[in-house]
Chains A and B, each alone.
Chain A
Amino acid sequence: MEDETVKYELRLYVAGKTAKSVAALANLKKYCEEYLKGQYTIEVIDLLVQPQLAEGDQIFAIPTLVRKVPEPIRKIIGDLSNEEKVLVGLNIRPR
């Protein structure tokens, strides 16, 4: 199946260890393990450490999850607490 071969490159932008950021990362890891096992990479970028990266991905809200691959780029903002929305947003589960 084609779906199986798709690699997901995900980037999560956070700003320090805030409750929202921690929750977002935990949620993301949980969904990925559940639905994309073995075919994803997660890069966590802390903007407090690397503020210059905010512009490149057009980040204005925190936390923001960016799906770099596969195209097109998708963004999900918030603590990712709504599983359904995240899956639809990442296009993992067809709408």
Chain B
Amino acid sequence: MSKEKKEEKPNFPSLPKSQTGITGLDEITGGGLPQGRPTLICGEAGCGKTLMSLEFIVRGATEFKEPGIFMAFEEKAEELAMNVASLGFDLIKLQTDNMVKIDHVHIDRSEIEETGEYDLEGLFIRLGYSIDSIGAKRVVLDTLENLFSGLTDQTILRAELRRLFNFLKDKGVTAIITGEKGEGPSLTRQGLEEYVSDCVILLDHRVINQISTRRLRVIKYRGSQHGTNEYPFLIDEDGISVLPVTSLKLGKDVSSSRVSSGIPALDSMLGGHGFFKGSSVLVSGTAGTGKTSIAAYFANETCNGGNRCLYFAFEESPKQIIRNMKSINVDMQKHIDNNLLQFYASRPTLYGLEMHLVAIYKLIKKFKPAAVVLDPITNLITVGSVSEVKSMLIRLIDFLQEEQITVMFTALTLNTIISDQTDEGVSSLVDAWLLVRDIEYNGERNRGMYIMKSRGMKHSNQVREFVITDNGLDLVDVYLGPEGVLTGSAREAEKLKEKTGLALRDFAVSRKDKEIMRKRMMLESKITNLKAEFESVEDELNKIYLEEELKQQIIEKNRDEITRMRRGTTGADKNKS
């Protein structure tokens, strides 16, 4: 049956799409914009409409060898070229290469008088001529609505717009039309969406807590599946990057190979081998519990194995971390020199979460590490709400798992009572969660560590004492005695006490043993005495018995003798016979 279905499928060819080349957008739209059809991009002023459409043209020309026309109703060609030069787009060269043509349509109401009937054939001819002159496959009209402000006869305009879209379809070009967001529920001020019905993308620019985030949403895409969420995007020196919040499916490959945490005792708690490769690990704990040390150990171990590690520090500078880690016998500098370890330090408040995420993405793509450390993620909360941080981390984890990169997060918990949820709410996302906590007892503070969870492997349920020494980190079994769990000096004292007890007991035991020996010797000597006595009695008894027998023999002998003598035979005869 499944075979039949497979055979049926090619009978319904999917909608041909034209790739935009814009990072992430093709993923959301399932391959790009509808080919040979117009797409509407709408949004408020300054949300990136022009840039997105221009990037579509430039990427088309540079990456897909598809010439494009950019018809600008707002900005002049020189202004546009200047604006996008900072993104590394050389519009002037592309124009001289005949890959891109920028046509600025200048509409100045003060110069124009309208009398009687007219149509926009001029625009059509112009566009048609441009398309034919460079064989354009892509067209952008930015922003058509300027026509409405330049011309008064709306009925003509609307009729002509409809004709324009048909004209574009007939030409077979993939077009983008931009439009300003209108009042109320309408997507564009002039209701352009009623003419463009194949694909509509809405851009949005919101400021929350003084930090602005650009967002993109595909409102409709006729004849195609698409991501329907709002996706954050940003504009940086490489143009637009759209970041899907989550990939559309959870279909990542998983590895069952393990990576060491760098602390042998911790590895043995994790079934003896450490974490899974490509898994995510959360180390949480209160301040000063050694989270960074664990992270640095992990990074160090990764580098020792000849793999690359990327360390994102949001709190300390790399130099500071290197210095601090030297005190526990971890030399990170040598890995940096060998180009195995790279630090990336930035204050979270430097820019918004999206920007952080993109920075992380880019560095990872460039450095290709086997492991990534984020220390700590708690600080990110200062630049975003919990849900935003969470969604960012989901995306990051998704991305890392796809790339089979092991990631270790550290998180600060502010309360000493262990909450089931960390502040960032990522504990449900991660594969393994180590908790380091203070154990205050007997006038001192010690560190205890345990594994809250570790997916897919046998792990210890024991609390271990986590010690930081000059030689490094180690885990020690805590003392479980009649007085409960003891750590630190209390544990040592208890151990000593136990040792003393043992010695005393040993002594007592040996004394008892000696006594037993003595008792045994005494008894044994008694036994020999009794034996000797018994023997003498037995001897005596035997003697009497033998005497009796001898007596009997002699008596019988005598009787025989007497009898013989009576018969007259002598003892000499008897000897003869």
Binding site for B on A (CB under 8 A): 13, 15, 18, 20, 23-24, 47-48, 51-52, 54-55, 58-64, 72-82, 85-86, 88-89
The answer to whether B105 has its CB under 8 Å from any CB of chain A is yes
> What are some 28 contacts across the A-B interface (CB < 8 A)?
A15-B125, A20-B119, A48-B125, A51-B126, A52-B129, A52-B133, A54-B122, A58-B105, A60-B107, A60-B122, A61-B120, A64-B122, A72-B111, A74-B113, A75-B112, A76-B112, A76-B113, A76-B114, A77-B112, A77-B114, A78-B118, A79-B118, A80-B116, A81-B116, A85-B115, A88-B113, A89-B113, A89-B115
Q: Once the chains are docked, how many angstroms separate the CA of A63 from the CA of B105?
A: 16
Partner of A13 from B106, B117, B119, B122 at Cβ < 8 Å: B122
Residues of chain A lying within 8 A (CB to CB) of residue B103: 55
CA A73 to CA B125, docked complex, whole Å: 22
Q: Is the CB of A51 within 8 A of B128?
A: yes
Judging by beta carbons under 8 Å apart, are A85 and B118 in contact? no
Task: Determine if B123 is an interface residue (Cβ-Cβ < 8 Å).
Answer: yes
Q: Smallest distance from the beta carbon of B132 to chain A beta carbons, Å?
A: 8
With contacts A47-B122, A86-B115 known, what are 8 further pairs, Cβ within 8 A?
A15-B121, A54-B129, A55-B126, A61-B122, A73-B111, A78-B116, A78-B117, A81-B116
CB–CB A62/B119 < 8 A = yes
Q: Is the CB of A62 within 8 A of B118?
A: yes
Q: Is B111's CB under 8 angstroms from A74's CB?
A: yes
B151 interface residue per 8 A CB criterion = yes
Contacts of A89 in B (CB 8 A): 113, 115
Residues of A within 8 A of B113 (CB): 74-77, 85-86, 88-89
B129 touches A63 (CB 8 A): no
List chain A residues, Cβ under 8 A from B121: 15, 18, 47, 61-62
Question: Which of B105, B115, B116 touches A60 (beta carbons < 8 Å)?
Answer: B105
Residues of A within 8 A of B106 (CB): 58
Q: Which residues of B contact A85 (CB under 8 A)?
A: 113-115
- Assembly CA distance A62 to B127 (angstroms): 14
Top 4 nearest A-B pairs (CB, nearest first) are A89-B113, A51-B129, A81-B116, A62-B121
**B residues near A51, Cβ cutoff 8 Å:** 125-126, 128-129
User: Would you call the interface of chain B mostly helix, strand, loop, or mixed?
Assistant: mixed
Task: Pick the most buried of A20, A48, A61: most chain B CB atoms within 10 A of its CB.
Answer: A61
Smallest CB gap from A24: residue in B? B116
Cβ < 8 Å to A, chain B residues 64-110? 103, 105-107
A72 contacts which chain B residues (CB < 8 A)?
111
- CB contacts (< 8 Å) of B116 on chain A: these are 20, 23-24, 78-82
Q: How far is the CB of B75 from chain A (nearest CB, A)?
A: 14
Query: Given the complex of chains A and B, what is the CA–CA distance between A47 and B130 in angstroms?
Result: 13
Instruction: Assess the A54–B115 pair: CB atoms within 8 A.
Output: no
Separation of A24 and B114 alpha carbons in the complex (Å): 12
Given A47-B125, A54-B125, check contact A62 B115 (CB 8 Å): no
- Known A51-B129, A78-B117; judge A59-B122 contact (CB<8 A): yes
Q: Are A61 and B126 in contact (CB under 8 A)?
A: no
Q: List A contacts of B119 (CB < 8 A).
A: 20, 61-62
A43 to chain B, nearest CB (A): 16
Contacts of A77 in B (CB 8 A): 112-115, 118, 151
Contacting pair A20 B126 (CB below 8 A): no
CA distance A85 to B118 in the complex (A): 15
Expressed in whole angstroms, the minimum distance between the Cβ of A9 and any Cβ of chain B is 16
Give CA–CA (A47, B123) in the complex, Å.
10
Q: Which B residues are CB-close (under 8 A) to A59?
A: 122, 126
- Per the bound structure, the CA–CA distance linking A49 and B106 in Å amounts to 22
Most A CB contacts (10 A, CB to CB) among B112, B119, B121, B129 go to B121
Residues of B within 8 A of A18 (CB): 121
What is the bound-complex CA distance between A77 and B123, given in angstroms? 13
Instruction: Specify which chain B residues have a CB less than 8 angstroms from the CB of A88 in the assembled complex.
Output: 113
Which residues of the other chain, A, contact B122 by a CB distance below 8 angstroms? 13, 15, 47, 54, 59-62, 64
Establish whether residues B126 and A54, one from each chain, have CB atoms under 8 Å apart when the complex forms. yes
Q: How far is the CA of A54 from the CA of B132 in the complex (A)?
A: 14
**B residues less than 8 Å from A81 (CB atoms):** 115-117
| Nearest residue, chain B, Cβ from A14 | B121
- Roughly how many angstroms separate A72 CA and B111 CA in the complex, as a whole number? 9
A15 to B122, alpha carbons, bound, how many Å?
7
A89 to B128, CA, bound (A): 29
CA distance A60 to B133 in the complex (A): 18
Q: Given the complex of chains A and B, what is the CA–CA distance between A25 and B401 in angstroms?
A: 70
